[in-house]
Chain A
Amino acid sequence: MNPILRTFGLAALGALVFIAIGLVVPAWFLFTMTKAVGFGLVALGLVGLLRGGLLSFGQGLYYCGGAYVSGLMANWAGVTDMIVLLSVGCIAGGLIAALVSPLVARYRGIFFAMLTMALSMVAYGVLTKIAAIGGSDGFNVPKPTLLGYHLAETGFGLYAIAVVIAALAAAVCRVHFDSGLGLIASAARENELRIEYLGASVFSVSTRSFILAGGLAGLGGTLNGVALGHVDPFFSYWTTSGEMVFIAILGGYASVTAVFGTALVTELVRSFSGQYFPESWQMLLGIFLLLVIVFLPRGVGSMWAKPAKNHAIRSIKEPAT
């Protein structure tokens, strides 16, 4: 059987199973799962970047961009159809990423991480100052529709849309990761110079991964903006991006479905910790992150499971003052 067909078939099957599960779970859990899909989509984009050895600490920017553009469209143009909103959010996230990519795609490692983070903090700062779109309060997003029908108050309709989007995104990413381009990204993580000598452009591969991640983040932002009924500049704040990184690291980059599971677990732990240990959510994140890195390096991904490099060789790169 054609592997691409098989991947999409599995995705369709998974979507059906999860929609069926949605029929029996309580409404609060539907909402949590919908939000988890939103975060999982952003984390999926991060996984694509991580496969190429890039870690972005600023995915909040594209997440926020998708949420704002689709939310403003719903408010100003009165469009509430989910298919239109999701497409617009996805394109907005991808476009912002495409605008930013010439600047950041040249960088690797900590430079890439900190530059993307700086950009998302700029967006946060700018959005809090623009009074026309709510400043730091943000604005409300109207109730969504699908092909003219209003979605049920229980949130099942939105959940079903989220599941379909998640399955589609996971399948597309699986196919992309296993395609020639996706494999070049993985190879670039190991050794960029060799890839260049072999005739492929690391820059263009990184750019593609970055735009894909931006589009997925825009999709996730739109979904969560609609699910929450509200968007604000906090979508672009560094803690939001940090949580996405957390979810992606927890999921590891070998799988395209793991991120949705870890997003759900993260969301559940967040709601419970908010109830029982307020003010210690970040500490929990930090401790879990350390535990995963120290005790589950395979779960984190083989990028970091390779043996420690020689410190002496590395140090030649960074001359003293």
Chain B
Amino acid sequence: MDLIFTILLDGLIYASWLFIVALGLTLVFGVLKILNFAHGGLYALGAYGAAIAVPFFAGLGMPEWFSLLAMFIAAAAVAILIAPLIERGLLRYFYGRDEVLILLITYAVFLILEDVTKMIFGVNPYYVFEPRNLLGNVEMGSLFYVGYDLALIGLAIVCGLGVWFGLNRTRIGKITLAVIKEPEVSQAMGVNIARIYLLAFGVGVFLAALGGAFTSPLISVQPGNSVSVIVVSFAVVIIGGLGSIPGAAIGALIVGIARAFAVYELPEAEIFIIYLVMVAVLIFRPEGLFTPIKARKI
């Protein structure tokens, strides 16, 4: 019983950061019809940003709890600096072109980001411990959990609800939904599509960077972990169906729990269980769990 509980909770924690990252990917795909390969690179930038921002604000004499806020600031800074550069500077020239071409372009951006990150931050690992020690430990049954890890679950829920609320209950969100459905008609009605695209891309980048920032206390921040992020979050997103927020949540849960199960019961399979799940889902639901069946166009 304890083991099942542990697997579920570990899975949930893993699913939380997966969901935050995958949410950004699926949002960008939903609005811009772009599978952003550079998402993993932006995730890494967020992690580096947090590794820089946390000691920086601590050096300014800010209280300890501020390190949590510092991670948000780092993610927002990445989004504000990078999103306009990529979206306005490059991607907007390719809207409506072949999706594989756009995948190649974001792949090129990813390659450039990787080396730029290495040039700026070097290849030595960074460590940020402060935020993780901040929330103490929580006793659950016979086990102790780090409070920070549990708080990640809360953060994921807040992110998911935030994006849902933003899309469905605000003016700008409803405009975004209209743009997703009918970009041309929206434009004819006076919607500034460029602004919506930039906003959606910015939120996507912010979520990637946020996922990176809040993972940085759990890992050593160093080059090389960004590609697994894009592959895994892609797996999550297609399990649920590209462009679907509840899909991303379910996908993250399935992948998170499957991985936690592998870690405890089948350690050899840890590295590929995610792909096994993905393949299994795709065999039965080629479009993902949450995508309605679509007619093929001629």
Contact = CB atoms under 8 A, between A and B. Distances in A.
Decide whether A and B are members of one complex: yes
Interface of A: 53, 55, 57, 103, 106-107, 109-111, 113-115, 117-119, 121-122, 125-126, 129, 191-194, 238, 242, 245, 249, 279-283, 285-287, 289-290, 293-294, 303-304, 308-315, 317-321
A125 B29 CA distance: 28
A285 B111 CA distance: 7
A308 B183 contact: no
A121 B30 CA distance: 26
- Most chain A beta-carbon contacts within 10 A, residue among B97, B99, B104, B228: B104
- Most chain B beta-carbon contacts within 10 A, residue among A238, A285, A318: A318
B177 interface: yes
A114 B105 contact: no
B110 A317 contact: no
A121 B275 CA distance: 9
Interface string B282-298: 11001000011010111
A310 B33 CA distance: 13
10 contacts: A109-B98, A113-B100, A122-B271, A286-B115, A289-B111, A293-B101, A311-B33, A318-B242, A320-B243, A321-B246
Contacts of A283: 111-112, 114-116
Contacts of A282: 111-112, 114-115
A280 B115 contact: yes
A114 B108 contact: no
Given A191-B298, A304-B97, A114 B185 contact: no
A151 to B, nearest CB: 36
B19 to A, nearest CB: 14
B294 A317 contact: yes
A191 B144 CA distance: 58
What 10 A-B pairs are tightest by C-beta distance, nearest first?
A: A286-B111, A283-B115, A125-B271, A286-B112, A311-B96, A312-B184, A289-B108, A286-B108, A320-B180, A282-B111
B30 A238 contact: no
Interface stretch (B74-82, B129-137, B213-221, B231-239): B231-239
Given A290-B108, A311-B33, 4 more contacts: A55-B100, A129-B271, A282-B112, A286-B109
A122 B108 contact: no
Interface string B157-192: 000000010010000000001001111110000000
A125 B272 contact: yes
B244 interface: yes
Q: Which of under 10, 10 to 19, 20 to 34, or 35 or more describes the interface residues of B?
A: 35 or more
Given A121-B231, A282-B114, A319 B292 contact: yes
Interface of B: 29-30, 33, 35, 90, 93, 95-101, 103-105, 107-112, 114-116, 118-119, 123, 164, 167, 177, 180-185, 227-228, 231, 234-235, 238, 242-247, 268, 271-272, 275, 278-279, 282-283, 286, 291-292, 294, 296-298
A319 B279 contact: no
Given A109-B100, A293-B101, A118 B30 contact: no
Contacts of B231: 114, 117-118, 121, 238
Given A107-B286, A129-B271, A321-B30, A293 B104 contact: yes
A287 B119 contact: no
B175 to A, nearest CB: 12
Contact of B99 (A109, A115, A129, A285): A109
Nearest to A111: B238
A309 B97 contact: yes
A129 B268 CA distance: 8
Contacts of B184: 310-312
Contacts of A311: 33, 95-96, 183-184
Contact of B278 (A53, A55, A118, A238): A118
Nearest to B283: A103
Contacts of B167: 320-321
Contact of A110 (B35, B228, B275, B282): B35
Nearest to B105: A293
B170 to A, nearest CB: 15
Contact of A193 (B98, B111, B298): B298
Contacts of B294: 317
Nearest to A125: B271
- Most chain A beta-carbon contacts within 10 A, residue among B111, B243, B278, B294: B111
A314 B100 contact: no
Nearest to B185: A312
B122 to A, nearest CB: 10
- Most chain B beta-carbon contacts within 10 A, residue among A53, A191, A317: A317
A103 B30 contact: no
B108 to A, nearest CB: 4
A80 to B, nearest CB: 33
Contacts of A107: 286
A53 B99 CA distance: 11
Contacts of A114: 35, 231, 234, 238
Contact of A312 (B98, B104, B119, B182): B182
B180 A119 contact: no
A63 to B, nearest CB: 18
